[in-house]
Structure 1
Amino acid sequence: MADLSTALAEGVEAETMYQYESMAAPSVKAQLGIATTRIGGGVALSILHDVTGFWNKALGFGFEEPVTYELIGRVVDFYRSQGNTRTTFQIAHSVLPPDWEEIRAAFGLRPASHYVKLACRVEDFWPGESKLDVEPVRPEDVRQWATVTFRGFGMPEEGFTEMLAATYDHPDFHPLAAWDGDTMVATGSLFVRGEVGALTADATLREYRNQGAQSALLARRAELAAELGCRWLVTETGLPQEGRPNPSLNNMLRAGLLPMYSRRNWVWEPDGE
């Protein structure tokens, strides 16, 4: 994976997440307490009413500006200004400075789970198969697509479905869905940034799992990425703990995506400082 830089892999993930949250309508931002900003080449994303913690994260740092005590302080100040009491820093290990232990201790950043970043060349992707139909999402199905995504994730839907659906109007987002007849059962999205296609929003309704939906969605997005001129596919998922497999990771590996590196999550809470 030496040809795909860490900067590109981290940058497309940060931009995907930034657009997911920043494109929400003003009414949805007010409802969920959404605030987003760009700091030092990375992004800081805050949703006050996110009980899952997934959408509160700061990432993409260490490339335009080095990771320093001052940079982390600016990010933490943003979350304090929003009244947010928890966020996750996601910073590639290769850009952490030699004094990272001192910096993270000063701000009370505690180590948490790991993510694994995966990528492959578009031509190296191996198509998957399923009896389900995979199609681009039509305008009239956008709300349903967002709803199925959050139900597949097991996340709250109110407000968040509107947030996710808003990305349909962004020219670089390409949402797709798997159907069993007239029933939408699984979702995925492709976000294109230059020659990199990010695979995101992968979710399947519980009763339709193990039927090849995600493999088929991965394959269709790979085809679409090639049509749009992408050279690389990239994604990320949780690194499973020993004895607890991650089916999504297994699907990605079978499709030809290869691990680039793992990245630790660092959780900030004001009480930890």
Structure 2
Amino acid sequence: MNTLVPPSVAEQSEAEALFRFETAAPEPIRTALGLNATRIGGGVVLSMRNDPTRYWSKALGFGVTGPVTAGLIREVCDFYRAEGTPQAVLQIAPAFLPEDWEAICESEGITAGSSWVKLVAATEDVVARADALEQSPTGITVAPVGAGDAAEWGSVLVRAFGMPEEHYAQLSAYSAAQPGWHPFAAWLDGEIVGTGTMYADGDTAQFFAGGVLPHARNRGGQTALLAARARAARDLGCRFLVAETGAETPGTRNPSLHNMVRLGFRVAYERRNWNWQPLPEAA
């Protein structure tokens, strides 16, 4: 396991960014999406009841301030049951999974899903590699997002990930002006075609929502978005970068993973997505 950034820091970096991204949404968006959140056992529990993407209901950041126990997971699942959440994902670093995790999963209706890769980097290393790149983006320009571009940026963000625009574009756009967030866009021929943002907190910058629309891919846009955020993180005094992406499975290739590794990110660990659904009530 890579120890440049310990799992405790890497997990809480992501958890805090997601908590702030979702809970800062204006009330009409929260109501439409059925969005609610709480903090339990040092982690965050995010519920989006009306979420056809099945992405935004997540519980993560556990194992840092105390152990992961059956009682803790029961409390998390009780929150989801009370919210009427149809499904959620629990994300726990492998270092923090307890010995009785299998029994806990069986008790709460939790099953193993896909895996993500947690990546970390020293900010200066990524900036140095970005500066040394010989190739520049083909026709792509990357710059910070201003208030006048936030709505278009939010729309592109969700479309790049195949999510519906209604409500989700506004949720994303609203984050652009929130404290601690630093959004960037990639432009091609005057059109926003890529997005990437980061949440800066002390020594750490959490990368989030890096994506490019299909017609503008393979031009170096995602690498340019990574580099721009790394330079911004350096200027903000952040020493470390944290990011996540899908783990590769046999026969698949994740370009995002390779772009980050090429820029100096290191794989810290793979983390399983644990899928929760409410158990059928006993007759």
- Normalising by the smaller structure, the TM-score range is over 0.9
The 3-state SS of whatever aligns with 1:155 is coil
The 3-state SS of whatever aligns with 1:103 is helix
Give the Cα separation in 1 of the matches to 2:164 and 2:280: 27
For structure 1, list consecutive stretches of 5 or more residues without a partner in the other structure.
none
Determine the structure 2 residue equivalent to 1:210. Answer: 218
Determine the structure 2 residue equivalent to 1:186. Answer: 194
For structure 2, list consecutive stretches of 5 or more residues without a partner in the other structure.
none
Per-residue Cα deviation, 1:11-49 (whole angstroms, up to 9, x for no partner): 010011111110010111111110111111101111111
Aligned partner (choices 148, 155, 165) of residue 163 of structure 2: 155
Determine the structure 2 residue equivalent to 1:236. Answer: 244
CA RMSD of aligned residues (A): 1.2
Give the Cα separation in 1 of the matches to 2:171 and 2:9: 25
The 3-state SS of whatever aligns with 2:79 is helix
Determine the structure 2 residue equivalent to 1:109. Answer: 110
Q: Does structure 1 retain, via aligned residues, the 8 Å contact 2:42–2:66? A: yes
Determine the structure 1 residue equivalent to 2:25. Answer: 24
1:3 deviation in Å?
3.4
Give the Cα separation in 2 of the matches to 1:220 and 1:210: 17
Give the Cα separation in 2 of the matches to 1:190 and 1:111: 29
Give the Cα separation in 2 of the matches to 1:210 and 1:85: 37
Q: Does structure 2 retain, via aligned residues, the 8 Å contact 1:145–1:187? A: yes
Give the Cα separation in 2 of the matches to 1:3 and 1:180: 36
Give the Cα separation in 2 of the matches to 1:183 and 1:156: 19
1:136 corresponds to 2:144: yes
The 3-state SS of whatever aligns with 1:271 is coil
1:97 deviation in Å?
1.0
Give the Cα separation in 1 of the matches to 2:179 and 2:57: 24
Q: How much identity, in percent, do the aligned residues show?
A: 43
Per-residue Cα deviation, 1:139-169 (whole angstroms, up to 9, x for no partner): 0100110100011111111011111122123
Give the Cα separation in 2 of the matches to 1:199 and 1:168: 14
Structure 1 residues 240 and 157, CA, compared in 2 at 3 Å: closer, same or farther? same
Determine the structure 2 residue equivalent to 1:257. Answer: 265
Q: Which amino acid aligns with 2:243?
A: T
Q: Does structure 1 retain, via aligned residues, the 8 Å contact 2:4–2:120? A: no
Give the Cα separation in 2 of the matches to 1:222 and 1:137: 15
Normalised to the residue count of structure 1, the TM-score between the two structures is 0.97
Q: Which amino acid aligns with 2:18?
A: M
1:105 deviation in Å?
1.3
Q: Does structure 2 retain, via aligned residues, the 8 Å contact 1:176–1:217? A: yes
The 3-state SS of whatever aligns with 1:221 is helix
1:272 deviation in Å?
6.8
The 3-state SS of whatever aligns with 1:154 is coil
Give the Cα separation in 1 of the matches to 2:280 and 2:21: 29
The 3-state SS of whatever aligns with 2:3 is coil
1:71 corresponds to 2:78: no
The count of residues paired between Structure 1 and Structure 2 equals 273
